[in-house]
Each structure stands twice: as structure tokens, then as C-alpha cells.
Amino acid sequence: MSAGPTNEEIKEALAQSGYLMEQEVATKLENLGYHVWTNAPFQDPDEGKSREMDVRAVQRFAYDEERRISAFVELVAECKNSDNPYVFITRTKNASDNNYPPKGWMFPLRNYEMKKAIGQSRSYSRQIPAFFHLGYEAVKSDYVADDKAVQFCRIDRNGRNAWQANHGGLYDSIFFPMAKAVTSRINDAPKSGTKPDEWKYFWFIFPIVVLSGRILKVDTAQSDPDPADVDFINFQRELKSKSLDGRFSVDFVRQSALEAYHSACVVPTMEHTTRLMAEQADSLLTQDIPWVERD
């Protein structure tokens, strides 16, 4: 009879599996003030089956008891334990890239409305998404950035012991499940009430893929660009399926830089919301806003 594995071999097998990585990520988020669930279930909105997200973390960071407004941030994390680097191809943004509010960001009022009288009891009306009216495009990191990631791949060894760029199955195994998890969380998150005594919510979902290995960026705006190490990067895609419709966004984060990502990409949203609630809480709940001519 062959001997069983040694303790060191068991530890190595666990380390390679990613189970310990998930717990390390959960602990880091707990240390940042989050309530954390590992292997959190959600319903696949396309197939109706139960799926799991590796880590789900929620934090209430601001509230106004008098006006009954509460603000939450939620991180939905998938953990990938691999030494193989992920490479993202970027290019300069075009004029339309920042025209879409992010999926999974919910506000006390979804839209604000401008009206302009044009005579004879008629008027123009224009709907402004809360994301833009409240100025979040100035603090969300991927909106502030000048470039965008348009492709990504993992660098794997092929059968000849050489390296190759592999993108096969990555979108289906990483991006689509994250979009489904976000859609499920949008459906399950608390909805703002319409009556004065009902609570209204800011709820910001940040979907992240935490990678144990390197993340590199290749900037095609440069001639003959070299891959450059980065700690985190945003990737977006238009998706359309039975339940997915629109532009979805996922942040890829190196495990060792999780705290730095949180400080650079999540905290500015929390600080901006806290300022809004402190300085203009009443106007947050006023849907009619002054007319402003477009440039």
C-alpha cells in the first residue's frame, strides 16, 4: 500500500487549488471593514441554476437617519490562482466610451429630469442618469482613465515548451460568470422606496477578478510597446443573452495589490457619496433639476 501524502504535500496541493487564496482575499476585505461571505450562492439568471461567487463583501459606509438614505459598497470577487501572467491590450478611448453608466451602480433616484418650456403649454424634457448628474464620472477610475482595455489573454506554455497567448475560454470562464453575478446582485439588492418614510439606497457593486500572478498592459497607442506591469486594470464588454444586455465592466486586480486597488478605485466613490450626503442631501431626492443647454 502506498503511503499517503505528507503534510507538506497537502499544503502544496491546497496552495495550488486556490482555496487558501480565497480565504486570504476574504480576510483582507474583512480588515478593510467589510462583512464577508465566501462561496456565496447566486442564481444564474440565464439557466436558473445555483452558482457561487468566491467572495462577496458588503460595507455600509454612510447613512442619513433623518432623510432615510443609506450607502453601501459591495465587492463581488472571483479568485484565480495561477503563476501565468494575464496581458491586457489597451488603446485610447473614443468619444462614446464614457457615455454609459456602470452596471450595478444604484442610486436613490435612477434619473433626474430637466424640463424646458417652449410655449403653448409645451415643454422639452431630458433624462439625466444619476451617475452623471451627481458627478461620479469624475471619481470612477475607469472613466477618469484615458485608455481602455480591448482584449486580454493568459500567457501559457504550449506543447513545445514555448509561450503562447491563450484567450480560448477565458471570456466564458471569467467574464460571463462575473456579469451573471452582477446581474443577480442587481436583482437582489435593496430597492429605494418612493415614499418619504421608506429608505433610499446608494448601492455600488464592484466586480473584481483577483489574480495571484502578474498583470501586464500593452499600450497600442505607443509604437512597438513593451508589456508593463500594473496592479489593476479595468475591462469592459458589450454582452447580450437571455438575461445580459448592455456594457459590463470588471476590474482585474493583483492579489498583493488588493488594498491599493481599494484605496484608488473604491474609496473615491465612498468619499464622493459621503460628501454628497453631507452637503446636498435634500437635492439628492429632488428629481426635477434646472435646464442646462448641451455644449
- 26-62 pLDDT tens trace: 999 999 999 999 999 998 888 888 999 999 999 999 9
Quote the pLDDT of residue 124: 78
Which pLDDT tens digit goes with each residue over 254-272?
Answer: 999 999 999 999 999 999 9
Q: How far apart are CA 184 and CA 111, in angstroms?
A: 22
Which has more pLDDT, 95 or 216? 216
Which pLDDT tens digit goes with each residue over 70-87?
Answer: 999 999 999 999 899 999
- Residue among 66, 77, 73 at smallest CA distance from 37: 77
The dihedrals phi and psi of 254, each to the nearest 5 degrees, come to: -75, 135
- Helix, strand or coil for residue 137? helix
* pLDDT of 119 higher than 90: no
Which pLDDT tens digit goes with each residue over 97-117?
Answer: 999 999 999 999 999 998 887
The dihedrals phi and psi of 120, each to the nearest 5 degrees, come to: 55, 45
Alpha helices, DSSP H, located in the chain? 7-17, 19-31, 130-133, 141-144, 170, 176-188, 258-261, 267-279, 281-284
Quote the pLDDT of residue 4: 78
**What percent of the chain is predicted at pLDDT more than 90?**
66
CA terminus-to-terminus distance, the chain: 80
* pLDDT of 198 higher than 90: yes
pTM: 0.91
